[in-house]
Chain A
Amino acid sequence: MFSSDKLPGAASAVAGVIAIAVFAMVLLRIHDQWGLLALGVIGGIALLLAVRTGAAAHFERAFAAHERLMNGVVVVAFLGVIAVLAKEDFSLLILSTVLLYCVACMGLTVQLGYCGVMNFAGAAFFGAGAYTAAVLGGHTSLPHLLVVLAGGLVAGLLGSVLLLPVLRTRGHYAALITVAFGILFRSFLDVNNTLGGPQGLTVPGMTIFGWSLNQGLAIGGITLSFYVNYALVTLALAIVVYTVTRRLERSWVGMHFDAVRIDELAASTFGLNVQGLKIMAFVIGNVFAGMAGAVFAMMTGFISPTDFDFPTSLVLIAIIMLGGIGNLWGILPAAAFVLILPEKLQAIQEYRFLLYAGAVILVLLYRSAGLFPRRLRRHFPPKAVS
């Protein structure tokens, strides 16, 4: 049906992205439970058909072959979705949350997916950024773009405390360090009254160059939801982080990360600075998580310790696991699945953790590389045949 020896053209990839964007748009707009169910069934059948006829594999190859073009198409698709949802607060909030989780998960991907450094405290670094935003945003007049950066830096610094233990230990012992740190962070927030204790803190909204994001844009007499602003900012953050991560992956550093992950000992015999690379991956990942956390705090306006507890760290891990460890594009559908589904289907909201756990267990048992496994790295982009 679809020949496999020729590289597919861009048209099919664009069509695929448009189809997915339209699906996401409809999904985010429908609130009727029966409508959602019908949409789920339609989506499921479409996905099954796409996989069966080979269209899904075709789309994937077409997407990879024209990545530069497709990056642009995806951004345009996102802008389109935001434009359509421009007056719906809740849908935009979910969309922005998905994007922020994607950013945090890209951080985890650098750590776990590229360099093989375990981190079970993702939510703690996300939280470090969020609390930094709350403190700096509430008590200083630091420009908010710098606050976001500061959130990342604080998370990175906090992670540096763990560098020595993370470097000295391996395997299960290293897992313990981050698990213990995640619990420590949460219980510290719970008992520390200066940071609001269990009641949490309120966070002022974001202002960029005098433009208050909590004020809805008015275009041609129509006032848009102020979440449009946040959706745009989170999209911008996601683009920046994606670009950095992708460049990192394609560079020599990324290659060295892979070597360290696959075999530390072999990597060190080839003269790679294993410790230095691990430090780099760990710090970069935490900075990403921290920046996402800072924007998250300013967007929701309120944070409390429960937002950053151990189960949240597991949700982050579940996302990169479902998406396929190391596969950047896998994160988006996985995050959308994990975050949107329970929000939309009120009937399963209660059962969401049980469902995540079940989904991850099934993936691990039957497809342990994730739903969309990372492909082998290509050193030279192949010539596309249209």
Chain B
Amino acid sequence: MDIGFLAQYVLSGIMLGVVYAMVAVGFTLYFGVLDVINFSHGDVLTAGAFVSLATYLGLRATGIDSPVVVLMIMLVVALGSMALLGVLIAKFFVLPLRHAPPFITLLITLMVGIAIRESIRLFYPSGSNPQSFPQLLPKTAYHWGNLIVRQDTLILILTGLAVIALVNLFINHTRAGLAIRAVAQDGETAKVMGINFEWIVLLAFALGSALAALAGVMNGLYYNEVNFGTGLMLGIIGFCAAVVGGLGNIYGAILGGFLFALLQTIVVVAVPSLTAYKDVFAFGVIILLMVIKPTGLIGEVSSERV
């Protein structure tokens, strides 16, 4: 196969991987601090995309049309509102059930997710149809042989990688990040050390949900389309990525995200006739990996007290 085509696939694979990794980091953050799976994460992503879309339409109505300004305002509104939504979900649905069996928290967040998704479908104007997302980034294309690289793709990939690096920096090199890691390691002890447990949990949910909103906006900008179901698949993929990487481990989540994108891309490149089966293949391999490494690639260190 031509090297240019290959590079093209690699590039789109990286783009997918960046989005998956961002979603997966959210799952792993939640799991770290509270040992819960927040299944509404994917739908928070959709909500973020729709909020930014609504903001865009609102801004256009008021006559602001500088793409940079519009995009900045969209991001601020979407990230801010989703961080708030994440805090509300944690405060009213997850924290009250902290001591319930894991199955219960899993179920309630799934239901919160359905509620968000259905609300978008029912209450956003013609929300059951796909909505076109504005093209706000420059789309000048560079050609190298068969490889076509558009500026917007590059900007999105670089932004995504930068954000992932920043989150990593935040978690591993700031005081707040230290507190999150402390709570993740042992909530009780962290409390004894004077860390405000609830605040840290809410901070983690705000951070994760803002990341999801950003991923939603990036996904919208890349495909120029959002629909109410966007987050369902992305959420499940992000969940798989986080679990395969090893829940609670931020590097695991990033690894898992890129791994899933790699699996999907491999099918498309290696057996083009089976492109339609790329999700079947990717999920199949994920299940297989779980057999080999039942607690993820970078395994969660767990010991059981009896």
Contacts and interface: CB of A to CB of B under 8 A. Distances in A.
Contacts of A365: 93, 96-97, 108
A41 interface: no
Contact of B107 (A171, A191, A364): A364
A173 B290 contact: yes
A356 B240 contact: no
B290 A361 contact: no
Interface string B164-180: 00000000000000000
Nearest to B296: A173
A112 to B, nearest CB: 8
A368 interface: yes
B108 A361 contact: yes
Contacts of A183: 233, 236, 279, 283
B279 A187 contact: yes
B102 interface: yes
Given A364-B104, A364-B111, A191 B243 contact: no
Given A118-B103, A176-B243, A165 B287 contact: yes
B37 interface: yes
A350 B119 CA distance: 11
B115 interface: yes
A311 B111 CA distance: 10
Nearest to A168: B294
Interface in A296-331: 310-311, 314, 317-318, 321
A172 B37 contact: yes
A146 interface: no
Interface string B18-61: 00000000000001000001000000000000000000000000
A351 B128 CA distance: 12
A184 B107 CA distance: 20
Given A265-B304, A353-B118, A317 B107 contact: yes
A358 B122 CA distance: 15
Interface in A276-312: 310-311
A350 B112 CA distance: 18
A191 B96 CA distance: 42
A191 B277 contact: yes
Contacts of A354: 114-115, 118-119, 122
Nearest to B284: A184
B161 interface: no
B85 interface: no
A364 B280 contact: no
Given A180-B287, A310-B232, A317-B107, A350 B31 contact: no
Nearest to A315: B114
B84 interface: no
Contacts of B108: 360-361, 364-365
Contacts of B288: 165
A361 B100 contact: no
Interface in B93-145: 93, 96-97, 100, 102-104, 106-108, 110-112, 114-115, 118-119, 122
B114 A311 contact: yes
Contacts of A314: 110-111, 114
A179 B112 contact: no
A11 interface: no
Contacts of B118: 351, 353-354, 357
Contact of A171 (B93, B102, B104, B114): B102
Nearest to A263: B306
A261 B212 CA distance: 35
Contacts of A310: 232, 236
B270 interface: no
A181 B283 contact: yes
Contact of A187 (B103, B112, B115, B280): B280
Contacts of A177: 287, 290
A18 interface: no
Interface in A161-210: 162, 164-165, 168-173, 175-177, 179-181, 183-184, 187-188, 191
Interface string A365-376: 100100000000
A353 B114 contact: yes
Contacts of B31: 172
B301 interface: no
Interface string B273-288: 0001101100110111
A168 B243 CA distance: 14
A358 B110 CA distance: 11
Contacts of B122: 350-351, 354
Interface string B252-275: 000000000000000000000000
Given A183-B283, A361-B115, A172 B236 contact: no
B12 interface: no
A172 B107 contact: no
A172 B233 CA distance: 18
17 contacts: A112-B103, A118-B103, A165-B287, A165-B291, A170-B294, A172-B102, A181-B283, A183-B233, A183-B236, A188-B280, A310-B236, A354-B114, A354-B119, A361-B93, A361-B108, A364-B111, A368-B104
